[in-house]
DNA sequence: GGCACTTTCCTAAGAGGTTTAGGATATAAC
DNA sequence: GTTATATCCTAAACCTCTTAGGAAAGTGCC
């Protein structure tokens, strides 16, 4: 019996691609094993459970997304940075729907603390440097941005905007413009 | 063998409660049957599949939420209406996490078109009557509000804000104030 | 090259979930 | 009371996830 060369790494990577193809929920160990031409039980030498597989896919996605965001906002500030951040986020979700869905997979606190999620939080806050908001307004704004990004992209991915004009891209651009204006004039800020 | 009195209605209702208790994903036909002291196969006289059960729970949740929103925004306008809408949405999600999760269960287009989802869209648009925005800005604003509500509540439910000050309630209030200000001065509006 | 050791992938099997088919009976209708 | 319907049952097929233990491919050392 020839060995296929399974690895935790390879399984997670293939799992992420599988998720993009057929959906994160459907990216099961059983299906993954089928893709590798291997029995399901064989995966358990590399991954301890379906939960671990999902968690690792989520961590991979968070990492990839954080890398792309970091590259996009480097050297930008203010509205430029805001738009670059937002577009990377949305483009990633549209290009990799399964991985993006994985991003929302609930992580236990320690795992979350060690994940790229904290980079996301830091980078979101970095965006606001261009808008000098005092605390606690800054935290409120961070939460608003996170909500809009994740909410808009989530709704779009779920088909929420598919049956109505205008194009989601147009609303996206307009909304980012509005957010920029809002951040510049946040009520209660100095 | 005494009959329990199963009904599609009762199953869906109990399924919704079950979802709130143990999570929407975990609210399976098997668990539901256990609650009723009945064999799993017996549910299939009332519900054609696990998918249909989930779909009906989702429709129930959308309906309940729409009813509560309708009651809350009746007789209110402007910021009052905005805050009432938003609070109903968030309170429902916190009180009924399983049903709220069901709200995001993907519906096929015809089902979605016949669901209370369209009432949500209409009511969101109604909120904006107090802010006279011209089209297409109005649609952009509708999408922004939907994104913020669903995004914020989704992140909060996922524990996104649980490890940082300040209290989510405070950010929520502040964000609603900011959105109100934004809607009153939407860039590009007359 | 031969040997021991490790790792990989296997078969086998159990626990649960979903679904279909067909049967017994409690309830309702006449 | 008899008939008909709807409800709930058993039985069984087919999933998925997971554990346990075995065979053989690969690795390292003499």
Answer yes or no: is A2 within a domain.
Answer: no
**Share of residues in chain A with pLDDT > 70 (%):** 98
User: Cα(A24)–Cα(A8) distance, rounded to whole angstroms?
Assistant: 18
* Interfacial B residues in 24-63 facing A (CB < 8 Å): none
The pLDDT of residue B188 is 76
Q: B141 to chain A: which residues are within 8 Å by CB?
A: 178
Can you give the pLDDT at residue A93? 98
Comparing CA positions, the residue from A112, A111, A13, A91 lying closest to residue A57 is: A13
Range A76-99 average pLDDT: 97
The model's pLDDT over A30-69, given as tens digits with 9 standing for 90+, comes to 999 999 999 999 999 999 999 999 999 999 999 999 999 9
| Residue A178 structural domain | 8-184
Residue with tokens 């379906």: A50
What is the pLDDT at residue A123? 97
**In whole angstroms, what is the distance from residue A84 CA to residue A77 CA?**
10
Is A3 part of a structural domain of the chain? no
Query: Nearest nucleotide by C1' from A5 CA?
Result: C8
Residue A134 belongs to some domain of the structure: yes
Taking residues B64-75, report their average pLDDT. 98
Model confidence band, residue B190 (pLDDT cutoffs 50, 70, 90): low
User: Which of chain D's bases lie under 7 Å from a protein CB?
Assistant: 6-12, 15-21, 24-26
Q: Tell me, what's the pLDDT at A164? A: 75
Question: With an 8 Å Cβ cutoff, are A140 and B178 in contact?
Answer: yes
Q: Which A residues, 127 through 166, put their C-beta within 8 Å of a C-beta on chain B?
A: 136-137, 139-141, 143-144, 146-152, 154-155, 158-161, 163-166
Q: Give the residue among A10, A72, A108 at the shortest CA–CA distance from B158.
A: A108
**Any residues with CB less than 8 A from the CB of B111 and at least 6 apart, and which?**
B55, B59
CB-strand contact B4/D, under 7 Å: yes
Residue B70: helix, strand or coil by DSSP? helix
What local confidence, expressed as pLDDT, does residue B173 receive?
Answer: 97
Q: Does pLDDT of B164 surpass 80?
A: no
User: Confidence band (pLDDT; 50, 70, 90) for A189?
Assistant: low
Interface test with A, best of B147, B159, B162, B186 (most A CBs within 10 A): B147
Q: How far apart (Å, rounded) are the C-alpha atoms in residues A125 and A139?
A: 8
Q: Nearest-CA residue to the C1' of C12?
A: A41
User: Does the beta carbon of B104 lie under 8 angstroms from any beta carbon of chain A?
Assistant: yes
Please answer whether residues A171 and B143 qualify as being in contact, where contact means their C-beta atoms are separated by less than 8 angstroms.
yes
Give the percent of chain B with pLDDT over 70.
Answer: 98
Per-residue pLDDT tens over the stretch A152-181: 999 999 888 877 779 999 999 999 999 999
Q: Does residue A189 form part of some domain?
A: no
pLDDT in tens, B123-140: 999 999 989 899 889 999
Q: Which pLDDT score is estimated for B189?
A: 66
Phi first, then psi, for residue A60 (nearest 5°) are: -60, -45
**Residue A31: CB atoms within 10 Å:** 15
Residue A190, domain member (yes or no): no
Q: How far apart are CA A74 and CA A113, in angstroms?
A: 24
Å between A43 CA and nearest CA of chain B: 24
List the structure tokens of B112: 């979605």
Other beta carbons less than 10 A from residue A70's beta carbon: 17
| A83-91, long-range: CB < 8 A, 24+ apart | A83/A176, A83/A180, A85/A123, A85/A124, A85/A127, A85/A149, A86/A149, A86/A172, A86/A176, A89/A65, A89/A149, A89/A153, A90/A149, A90/A152, A90/A153, A90/A156, A90/A172
Query: What number of other Cβ atoms are within 10 A of residue B31's Cβ?
Result: 14
pLDDT-derived band at A75 (thresholds 50, 70, 90) equals: very high
From residues 42-81 of A, list those within 7 angstroms of strand D by Cβ: 44, 48-51
How many angstroms away from the CA of B6 is the closest CA of chain A?
30
pLDDT above 90: percentage of residues in chain A: 88
pLDDT average, residue stretch B85-113:
96
B6 touches strand D (CB under 7 A): yes
Does residue B174 sit within a domain? Answer: yes
How many residues does the structure list for chain A? 190
Helices (H), A74-136: 78-95, 97-102, 109-113, 117-127
CB-based contacts of B117, cutoff 8 Å, min separation 6:
B62, B107
CA dihedral B107, B110, B112, B118 (to 10 degrees): 170
- DSSP, res A43: G
Nearest to B56 by CA among B10, B91, B125, B21: B10
Ramachandran quadrant class, B168 (left: phi over 0; alpha: psi -120 to 50; beta: rest): alpha
Residue B46 placed within a domain: yes
Of the candidates A149, A151, A175, the beta carbon closest to that of B140 is on A175
CA dist A144 and A179 (Å) reads 9
**Residue B189 included in any domain:** no
How much is the CA Rg of chain A, to the nearest whole Å?
Answer: 19
The verdict on a CB contact (< 8 Å) between B148 and A144 is yes
Out of A147, A154, A174, closest to residue B140 by CB: A174
Which tens digits make up the pLDDT trace of B2-56? Answer: 788 899 999 999 999 999 999 999 999 999 999 999 999 999 999 999 999 999 9
Query: What local confidence, expressed as pLDDT, does residue A76 receive?
Result: 96
Tokens standing for residue A110: 């320690």
pTM: 0.94
Chain A residues touching residue B166 (CB < 8 angstroms): 136, 139
In contact, B23 and B6? CB cutoff 8 Å: no
Q: What CATH number has the domain bearing residue B155?
A: 1.10.357.10
User: Which residue is closest to B152 within chain A, CA to CA?
Assistant: A147
Instruction: Tell me the nearest-neighbour CA distance from B167 into chain A, angstroms.
Output: 10
Token look-up 């049903």 returns: B99
Domain count, chain A: 1
């Amino acid at each position: 019996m020839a060995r296929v060369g399974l690895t935790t790494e390879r399984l997670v990577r293939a799992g992420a691609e599988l998720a993009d193809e057929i959906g994160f929920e459907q990216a099961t160990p059983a299906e993954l094993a089928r893709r590798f031409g291997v029995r399901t039980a064989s995966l358990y030498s590399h991954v301890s459970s379906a939960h671990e597989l999902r968690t690792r896919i989520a961590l991979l996605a968070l990492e990839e997304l954080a890398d792309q965001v970091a590259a996009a906002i480097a050297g930008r500030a203010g509205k430029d940075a805001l738009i670059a951040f937002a577009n990377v986020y949305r483009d990633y979700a549209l290009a990799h729907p399964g991985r993006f869905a994985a991003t929302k997979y609930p992580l236990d606190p320690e795992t979350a603390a060690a994940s790229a999620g904290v980079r996301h939080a830091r980078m979101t806050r970095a965006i606001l440097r261009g808008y000098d908001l005092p605390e606690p307004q800054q935290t409120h704004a961070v939460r608003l941005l996170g909500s809009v990004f994740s909410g808009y992209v989530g709704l779009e991915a779920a088909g929420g905007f598919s049956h109505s004009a205008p194009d989601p891209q147009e609303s996206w651009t307009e909304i980012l413009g509005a957010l920029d204006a809002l951040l510049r004039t946040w009520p209660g800020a100095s």
